[in-house]
Chains A and B, each alone.
Chain A
Amino acid sequence: MSCTVSMTVNGKTVSREVEERTLLVAFLREHLGLTGTHVGCDTSQCGACVVHVDGRSVKSCTTLAVQANGAEVTTIEGLAAADGTLHPMQAAFREHHGLQCGFCTPGMVMSAVDLVRENPNPTEAEIREGLEGNICRCTGYHNIVKAVKAGAEAMAGAQPAPVAAE
């Protein structure tokens, strides 16, 4: 059985005929070619698939595409400004070496942005607890925590995250 699913993804209205069982992550990756959102597990544990649906972080591997029908979806591809300027959280991850292999990174960044939206000035403990749903195997979380702290400050406008020159 197939059905039509329509939503706004990264500011663009999209509409596709898909099988009803299609997961949101498959809709994004296979049907829209937005491969920045990753699948790291089958049990909604790792968080590599986190996107924003109507402004809130959601694990797209356990969301049906039809559940996002009519919603505003933002993926990692839609986070930076139109001119390519990185979102402060993206810039902070780069500045503080909060990523290594990059696979968990899109989900981690999307979770971090939502975390800061809910708690604009998180402590280290709050950041660690807030990222409990995202697994990273590379960084040991040390630099992710630093990055989220810096990203939060930058998002608050306290100080723009410095963008390092290469």
Chain B
Amino acid sequence: MANPNGIGASVRRREDQRFLTGRGNYTDDFKRPNMTHAVHVRSPYAHARILGIDFADAAAMPGVVAVLTGADMEADKVGSLPCGWQIHSKDGSPMKEPPHYPLARDRVRYVGDAVAVVIAETREQARDAAEMVVVDYEELPAVGSSTRAIDGGAPLVHDDAPDNVCYDWHLGDQAAVDAAFANAAHVAKIDLVNQRLVPNAMEPRAAMGEYDQSSGEYTLTTTSQNPHVTRLLMGAFVLGIPEHKLRVVAPDVGGGFGSKIFHYGEEAVVTWAARKVGRPVKWTADRSESFLTDAHGRDHVSHAELAMDADGNFLALRVSTLANLGAYLSTFAPSIPTYLYATLLAGQYKTPAIYAEVKAVFTNTAPVDAYRGAGRPEACYLIERLVDVAAGVMGMDKTEIRRRNFVPKEAMPYQTPVALQYDTGDFAKNLDIALPLVDYPGFQQRRAESKARGKLRGIGFATYIEACGIAPSNVAGALGARAGLYECAEVRFHPTGSVTVFTGSHSHGQGHETTFAQIVAERFGIPIENVEIVHGDTNKIPFGMGTYGSRSLAVGGSALVKAMDKVERKAKKIAAHMLEAAETDIEVKDGRFTVAGTDKSLGIGDIALQAYVPHNFPLDELEPGLDEQAFYDPKNFTYPNGCHVCEVEIDPDTGVTTIVSFAAVDDFGNVINPLIVEGQVHGGLVQGIGQALYENCVYDEESGQLVTGSYMDYCMPRADDVPSFTVCYHEDQPCTHNPLGVKGCGEAGTIGAAAAVMNAVVDALSDYGVTHMDMPATPEKVWRTIRDAAPAPTPAMAAE
């Protein structure tokens, strides 16, 4: 009988009880005896030289324990925050990698750059004192945007990065692309901006450092998606603390979306300061600090061209992108606009030749790194906007041009011209499912009905494919990663048959405590209540590479399966011994170990007990205990894919865009918990819709001041901005190279949604001759576009 809480069941989440009753344990909830509070003094300038810091008055304020600066860190030989990925430019030279100190030493390079930290008895006292720190700045000219950064004569963010260029990189066969364009019957072109976003996890970043003088051990409790990586980076490169003396705990974490992958300076500051002041030190960002200092996402300016033959078959794609990396290199920053972006430019299409150039630049803005989707939404948006333009050039239906160019299912595994090999996918099937869901044939009638009411209706399609399950270490290493990207799991059976699983994956909303337990319950035929999932503590988990890139299930789940395989092998030996049978005669099903052809069998619980009470074990052949650990390094990326369809209605009088319907058809491979998967899609969709219609992180180009520094200025999607969704997935194309057949679902919604919404908005405005609009399609922008369109559509045009 199938396990009611096994694979495929919508098990209600086990973590919800504590979250719903206020018993979550987030970093800021921790309180230690004698704990102090840190507040950072941050630069109000985007670019300035630090001439001096006077903190005498601050240090004398009530409750102040210490005021520490970059000079103190330098004296203690604190290092620079390391970058985890190295990119080489076209000419073979390595990227520019300027130092990034946790507290600035002589120059600040973005608004929010930390220059000092005040530590006091209470947060309020620290905040009061921080306001009394006087920093003597010599303001320097600033660079507030990527286009300004490469404008000849722009100020230099780093003296050793000429023209502000970090790297100038390319991928693909330029000659083949040029030849295809020379012979093309039609060319579609687009210029677009993928605007900067602020991830905005609802829990602001926080960190608490502790130092135990008697043992010499440090503990960092932090809002991290990957505590082991933080331990490695901070321990080895910044503070010089060996792993066995540094514990990093990432407890309940209130959302990440990429922004909590990275090692941040504040983590090093509180850990270092805890030893300096001899007391625990806690720092919690307020939302303003989050806006200023969390790594941002996206920020591309691109030009793209698509060559086609006379029938609309894609011949070649040429892309040129300018990517803004901000003031310093965040942990994974260089990989995002390169190997997580340009490698996805084939999309779902069999375009035979692709060439992409990416110039990445420094600016006086917050660092930019992975944000949900990380490079793949940028790729999807570019391709899918361009394909809509191409449909216009060809006079073809937007679904037809896509269908004509899909990589057919039969071509799998398919080698793209941009390095990836897709394992599975049936793109036509996704579209076939989507079209009736959205009643595509009825669209023109709905459009006419809207028009009769004075409204503009549009429909937009986006197909996407992403490379997830990051990543095969050998591939990542060849491409510049300075780490392996495997995952680790340990499965520990206890004597009475309950199980504790230790996973290097980290859950910050994804529900691993439920999903991973389902996998174990299914495998061993045990109640889910008997399985506990432990994550987020380097002292408990053997190792981990954390959660990002939709990798938890595909990589962490696979490590779990591998560890369970080992447990089963060991259990089989024990069963053979107990049942006095040959190991080869033991059959295993749902956690029962049976001697083939007999009714002699044992449950996994009986075996676990014997494993810990080995009174008659042949000890030279059989060790006591039932506790196994495994590392899993994926063989390939996984390739979730799908088709998203959005229908909008625009009020031309106000410019307000309303999403009338949104359908997402996805292929995530096998699904463990449908309820959780659907929830991941819903959330992803709204982040994509947020980019399309609402969100925009704006810096003043000249001053480098963050204009959108709070929820008053940065428009977050709210409940009344978005609709309910039609979400649908199929399991016909499981991943072929991991044991669960899973592909990952965390980023899909965000990747497809922005393109689908914008294609719908542009479609709605097509009567006005609009072929493109940059995001976000705010009411003001839409209204101005309609107003500026010349000539306004005549009744005759409207009737067409």
Contact = CB atoms under 8 A, between A and B. Distances in A.
Contact of B254 (A75, A101, A144): A101
B252 A137 contact: no
Interface in B190-206: 200-204
Contacts of B20: 76, 86, 90, 93-94, 99, 102, 105, 109
Interface in B13-61: 13-24, 26, 28-29, 31
A102 B686 contact: no
Contacts of A17: none
B328 to A, nearest CB: 25
Contact of B21 (A36, A100, A136, A142): A36
A137 B21 contact: no
Given A40-B204, A142-B682, A101 B287 contact: no
Given A100-B679, A137-B257, A144-B719, A40 B202 contact: yes
A41 B12 contact: no
A103 B254 contact: yes
A158 interface: no
Most buried by A among B29, B529, B749: B29
A97 B675 contact: yes
B255 A103 contact: yes
Interface in B674-714: 675-676, 678-680, 682-687, 710-712
Given A40-B203, A42-B287, A80-B21, A140 B686 contact: yes
Interface string B250-267: 001111010000000000
A139 to B, nearest CB: 5
A54 interface: no
B12 A166 contact: yes
Interface in A66-108: 75-77, 79-80, 86, 90, 93-95, 97, 99-106
A34 B716 CA distance: 28
B719 A102 contact: no
B587 to A, nearest CB: 29
Contacts of A57: none
A45 B719 contact: no
Nearest to B725: A142
Given A36-B21, A38-B26, A100-B255, A141 B14 contact: no
B22 A145 contact: no
A6 interface: no
B526 to A, nearest CB: 13
B547 to A, nearest CB: 12
A129 B719 CA distance: 7
A109 B13 CA distance: 17
Interface in A131-156: 131-132, 134-145
B13 A43 contact: no
Interface string A19-58: 1010000000100011111111111011010000000000
Given A38-B203, A99-B20, A140 B682 contact: yes
B286 A19 contact: no
Given A137-B716, A143-B682, A90 B21 contact: yes
Contacts of B11: 166
B718 interface: yes
Contacts of B26: 35, 38, 103
Interface stretch (B130-138, B313-321, B507-515, B599-607): B507-515
Nearest to A148: B719
Contacts, number: 183
A91 B23 CA distance: 15
Given A45-B710, A101-B509, A137-B687, A86 B21 contact: yes
Contacts of B286: 39, 41-42
Given A135-B716, A140-B725, A142-B724, A102 B19 contact: yes
A95 B12 CA distance: 6
B149 interface: no
A41 B710 contact: yes
B5 interface: yes
A131 to B, nearest CB: 4
Contacts of A77: 21-23
Contacts of B679: 97, 100, 138-139, 142-143
Contacts of B254: 38, 101-104
Contacts of B23: 36, 77
A97 B13 contact: yes
A77 B24 CA distance: 11
A43 B287 contact: yes
Interface string B651-691: 00000000000000000000000011011101111110000
A132 B19 contact: no
B415 to A, nearest CB: 35
A166 B252 contact: no
B159 interface: no
B519 to A, nearest CB: 15
Given A101-B255, A104-B202, A40 B287 contact: yes
A108 to B, nearest CB: 9
Contacts of A90: 20-21
Nearest to A101: B509
A42 B286 CA distance: 7
A19 B63 CA distance: 14
A102 B24 CA distance: 8
A128 B720 contact: yes
Smallest CB-CB A-B distances: 7 pairs: A36-B22, A103-B254, A102-B19, A101-B509, A140-B686, A45-B711, A140-B682
Given A104-B254, A140-B722, 13 more contacts: A21-B124, A36-B24, A42-B288, A100-B683, A105-B20, A128-B720, A131-B718, A131-B719, A135-B718, A137-B255, A142-B725, A144-B719, A166-B529
17 contacts: A36-B24, A37-B22, A38-B202, A41-B287, A42-B288, A46-B287, A77-B22, A79-B21, A101-B509, A102-B254, A103-B254, A131-B720, A132-B720, A136-B202, A138-B509, A142-B725, A166-B14
